[in-house]
Structure 1
Amino acid sequence: MNELFGMPPNCSYVSANRCSVKLIFWYDRGNYNVTFIAEPSYDNYIDDNKHFVMIEVTGNKFFSYDIHHICKETDDCARSFAEEKIIEMTKRSYNVTNIYSDLRRLIHQKSTLSSDLACFDINDGVRQCTVPGTSGSCQIVNDLIKHKFNKRLCLHSTQQSTSLNIFDTGSVAMMTVRCNRMLCNGPLTIAAVKKILQHHNITDINDRLLG
């Protein structure tokens, strides 16, 4: 994270309707990736800024923050944005170990393929989520703008995963939590997750991403 960004000398310019850059900051690894893309067309229905945070707290743990920025104000506008945003984002200091620990206590429970698990559905009904040979988990999707739940369901996978992600374009903002504790996909879990994210300065008081 401490390495300053510099354009490789062999990069060339191309003509395009819009410039875009995708930044991925890996706070668990302490590095970041930069990808520049020439956008061939302009679509008014595509948001110009997308922010996406994902935190996996079990197995192959990671904490990533993606930013996709599109612009057309000036030549090389994506590069100017990237240089400023990289300085800002690399100055952030997260205690990744504590973030994992705080979230894991809330959304993860050691289990086996035969462990009993029940999840809420969208109508507050309780659904059994145990299927032989698979690892069950509960999921809840919270609309951070309309302040309502879009989905509450049970998922099945051969690999265990407990995670959260936030997708924020400015006009759309969704938080998704995947957990494997009994009846964990309810409002109490979402409220507790939001407190943890605010405590670690990942989101603001309105539960929107800082950045």
Structure 2
Amino acid sequence: MIVHKNAEFSTSCQLPCDPCCCNGYLIGPTGLAGRARPQRKQGVQGPAGDTEATGATGPTGPASANNTYIETGTLGTINAGISYNQGRGNNEAFAALIFDCGSDKEITEIAAYFMQAGAGTGVFQMAILMPTGGNSQAEVVAVTNTVNSIFGGFFVIPLTASVTLRANTSYYLAVYSQVNASIIGGFTAGASPGGDAPPINFRVQNLSGFRVGQSISTSDTSQRLSPWLYLC
């Protein structure tokens, strides 16, 4: 475009216009369009990197804790105390039936709940039995150590050897106490046995303690008391 220096543009001018109408502007023809820049060629994709080797498998984590959760009844069911000479018994033990439909469990301890420690000294022991002999007998399969001193509250004793309780199998948890004036937490339960199933609980007298392999009579169901016992 050729422009006259210091020329004034007339707003009334209609394009295209002549030099007179545009007050000295001389408008030339439109130039050719510039050549389009060619598109850059995309570079070649580089090769994929090497795949790293799979790492070694880590060590197996520790086994989960053995949560047994087997007890003769919940703490909330405790509504009675079992004394060392309950029902005027002599050297007696009380037992209650348990059943677990889960998996096999390894047991190492048994816990009782002393509502009253009494004299605090005397022979005390717990055991695990299995019903046998036409539902009138039970065989001792595990025993705790015998102790001569107890205290109130939860009282835990280790078994002399761990034992595996089989799933879907009935067992008895039993307690033998000769601690004068002591009272163990328990609850009323049971009914007269019909002979087709092991009794819910029983009492046995004239014992000097438990030993593995010992056969115990389960026929005395007169007290209808179950001790609260817990397997650990």
Task: Give the structure-2-normalised TM-score.
Answer: 0.21
Between 1 and 2, higher relative CO (CA 8 Å, sep ≥ 6) is seen in 2
Structure with a larger share of its residues in strand: 2
Name which one, 1 or 2, has greater alpha-carbon Rg. 2
Structure showing the higher helix proportion among its residues: 1
TM-score (norm 1): 0.23
